[in-house]
Amino acid sequence: MSLTEVDWSLIPAPADDGKAAHLEGQSLPDVTLQATDGPAVTLSDLRGLVVFYIYPMTGRPDRDLPDGWDQIPGARGCTPQSCAFRDHYAELQEWGVAGLYGVSIQTTEYQTEAAKRLHLPFPLLSDADQALGKALDLPGIEVEGQHLHKRLTMIVKDGVIVKTFYPVFPPDQDAANVIAWLRSDAEERA
C-alpha cells in the first residue's frame, strides 16, 4: 500500500477516548526537542501562533510498517498528514502561524530522511526520549513493544494550548481543519 494514497474507508477511525481533554489551557512545558532543520527547539520559549501536529511514526518506502498497522485505529496516515501541512504551509502562515512542527518519537536521523523525501518546509521534532509526551501526558499506543504518541494537533498561542484536535481522522484533512479553526477564531475576534 502506498504511503501517500490511502483509502480511508478501509482504515478504522479512532474514537475519542478523552485522553487529550486536559490539554487545552495548559502551557507548553520547558522541554527541548531536536529539530530536523538544525537547532533544537525549547517549547516554552515559543511565542506567537504555533501549530504542533503529533503523530505515531512516519513510514518509509524501503521499510515495512509494523504488522497490523492499518488496523490500529488512528495509526495510518502520518505521511499524508505531513504532506497536507506541507501543501497548506503558505496558507497557515497567512493565517498568522509563526511556527509549524511535526512531532513523533522517531529519532532526528529518521525524521530528517522523511523531511527531505517529503520536501517539508518546516521542521520535524524528535520526542525520542518521550519528554514532551510525559510532560503533557499525551495519549499513546503500544506497537511492537514501543510506546508511540497518538495523533493529535495543538494550536498554541504565546505558549498556551488554545485548541486541540483529537482524534484526527482522516489525517490528510488535519491542515484544512486547522485553517478552518483559525478562520473561525479570527472571525469571532473581529
In a structure prediction context, what are the per-residue pLDDT tens digits for the chain, which is 190 residues long? 555 678 899 999 999 999 999 999 999 999 999 999 989 999 999 999 999 999 999 988 888 889 999 899 999 999 999 999 999 999 999 999 999 999 999 999 999 999 999 999 999 999 999 999 999 999 999 999 999 999 999 999 999 999 999 999 999 999 999 999 999 999 998 8
128-139 burial by CB neighbour count: b if 16+ within 10 A, else e?
A: beebbbebbebb
pLDDT for 59 equals: 85
pLDDT for 4 equals: 64
CA-based nearest residue to 111, from 36, 18, 27: 36
> Residue 97: beta bridge partners?
49
Q: What is the pLDDT of residues 90-100, one digit of tens each?
A: 999 999 999 99
Nine cell digits for residue 135: 510532560
pLDDT for 60 equals: 84
pLDDT for 5 equals: 74
pLDDT for 89 equals: 98
Question: Cα separation of 44 and 16, whole Å?
Answer: 27
What value does the CA radius of gyration of the chain take, rounded to a whole number of Å? 15
Nine cell digits for residue 127: 520526542
CB neighbours (10 Å) of residue 32? Answer: 16
